[in-house]
Amino acid sequence: MPAKRILVSGGAGFLGSHLCERLLSEGHDVLCVDNFFSCDKRNILHLRDNPRFELIRHDVTFPLYVEVDEIYNLACPASPIHYQHDSVQTIKTCVHGAINMLGLAKRVGATIFQASTSEVYGDPEEHPQKESYWGNVNPIGLRSCYDEGKRCAEALFFAYHRQNGLPIKVGRIFNTYGPHMHPRDGRVVSNFIMQALRNEPITIYGDGTQTRSFCYVDDLIDCFLAMMGTEKDFAGPVNMGNPGEFTIGELAARVVDMTGSRSKIIHEPLPADDPRQRRPDIALAREKLGWEPRITLEEGLARTIPWFEKMVASGE
Ligand code: NAD
Ligand code: UDP
């Protein structure tokens, strides 16, 4: 495959840094665009000396003029703590960021991928969630800056697709974890592993019966590339995640067990609008992308824990 010039917005973040690594390993030129709002520069330091890697400090809520063949639009804080920290900026990043990236794609004729989210389904009344489900989102709740921002971004992507014939690829990502997660981003996997490694109390919000489906990052990046490789007219949206479903209580027990921790489990109040259940129906990804996740939660945690051990050792 000839080398392409590929822009990854949010490229220094958790998923973005893995994507940059993968695209470079396949011989592409990668332009990483990030304003470092919710990431750690250490994620991409090892890529700096690669002549095919270029980094621009830039906020996607402002226009960007570059020449590229493909765009992966990942810029947006993903953890509830980060996206609720400045909810107005989160909405701007979702909406103005999408408009700027779509405008760029239109000008240069690039195919553009949108990192959408299972949060478009809100607190789902349909289980598991299929792409045809319209969701159950509180439009004014604490999570709405992210949920509605991402829903508006999907609307923008499909508007550009219909109106301008722009080739778009929309992926709805379910909870994903792995090395390069920010150790203090407040997401459940990073929190539990950091707490377990420090023998601090493991904080389960609510009674721990709420469920999530956890996908290991390498599986997800395979899915991104498979989606980008689909025929020009296939836009999605496609659910991207691991259909294995676990309660948060089960996750806590597994992390304690695998780290050999002395941590006790404590319960804290459940945040407002916290979805009760979440599991992707991935039939469409299987059919259209020939993709399904291969890494079990056990294996994925075993690959992730050493990363957090290094973080703890470095004083995080
Ligand atoms: P992350 O917070 O680690 O990465 C997001 C990156 O975007 C960060 O590097 C951040 O600095 C950057 N960013 C934020 N606002 C920006 C702006 N205005 N301009 C430029 N850069 C900006 O999160 P992640 O887990 O890597 O998520 C990446 C994308 O995938 C996000 O769009 C997120 O909504 C989506 N997603 C992730 C998950 C998951 O479980 N990891 C699930 C669903 C959707
Ligand atoms: N959670 C928890 N303890 C924590 C962090 C999160 O019990 O220390 C719960 C949270 O309330 C939610 C689930 O774990 O029910 C997943 O939370 P996360 O923030 O990772 O992502 P979400 O899927 O809610 O966006």
> Whose alpha carbon is nearest atom 18 of ligand 2?
187
CB 120 within 8 Å of CB 170: no
Average pLDDT across the chain, whole number: 96
Q: Which of 9, 15, 189, 297 to mutate to test the pocket of ligand 1 (most atoms within 8 A of CB)?
A: 15
User: Is 99 a residue whose pLDDT tops 80?
Assistant: yes
Cα(82) to ligand 1 centroid in Å equals 10
Q: Which atom of ligand 2 is nearest to the CA of 78?
A: 25
Provide the pLDDT for residue 101: 98
List beta partners, residue 31: 7, 54
Cα(113) to ligand 1 centroid in Å equals 13
Ligand nearest to the CA of 77: 1
Provide the pLDDT for residue 61: 98
Judging by DSSP bridges, how do beta strands 238-240 and 70-73 pair with one another? unpaired
Residue 33, helix vs strand vs coil: strand
CB 269 within 8 Å of CB 205: yes
Provide the pLDDT for residue 239: 98
Q: Sorting pLDDT into bands at 50, 70 and 90, what band is 37? A: very high
Q: Is the CB of 58 within 6 Å of ligand 2?
A: no
Catalytic residue among 121, 146, 160, 216: 146
Query: Is 216 annotated as catalytic?
Result: no
Provide the pLDDT for residue 136: 96
User: Is 1 a residue whose pLDDT tops 80?
Assistant: no
Percent of all residues in the chain with a pLDDT value above 70, rounded to a whole number: 100
User: Is 2 a residue whose pLDDT tops 90?
Assistant: no
Q: Please compute the mean of the pLDDT values over residues 151-161 and round it to a whole number.
A: 98
DSSP assignment string, 135-191: -B--TTSTTHHHHHHHHHHHHHHHHHHHHH---EEEEEE--EE-TT--TTS--HHHH
Q: Is the CB of 248 within 6 Å of ligand 2?
A: yes
Q: Is the CB of 210 within 6 Å of ligand 2?
A: yes
Q: Which atom of ligand 2 is nearest to the CA of 208?
A: 7
Q: Is the CB of 160 within 6 Å of ligand 1?
A: no
Q: Which atom of ligand 1 is nearest to the CA of 76?
A: 14
Cα(221) to ligand 1 centroid in Å equals 14
> In what helix (H) or strand (E) does residue 188 lie, and over which residues does it extend?
helix 188-197
Provide the pLDDT for residue 143: 95
DSSP assignment string, 132-146: T---B--TTSTTHHH
Of 308, 296, 310, 117, the residue nearest 216 (C-alpha): 296
Residue 223, helix vs strand vs coil: helix
Q: Is the CB of 282 within 6 Å of ligand 1?
A: no
Provide the pLDDT for residue 40: 84
pTM check: above 0.85: yes
Q: Which atom of ligand 1 is nearest to the CA of 83?
A: 2
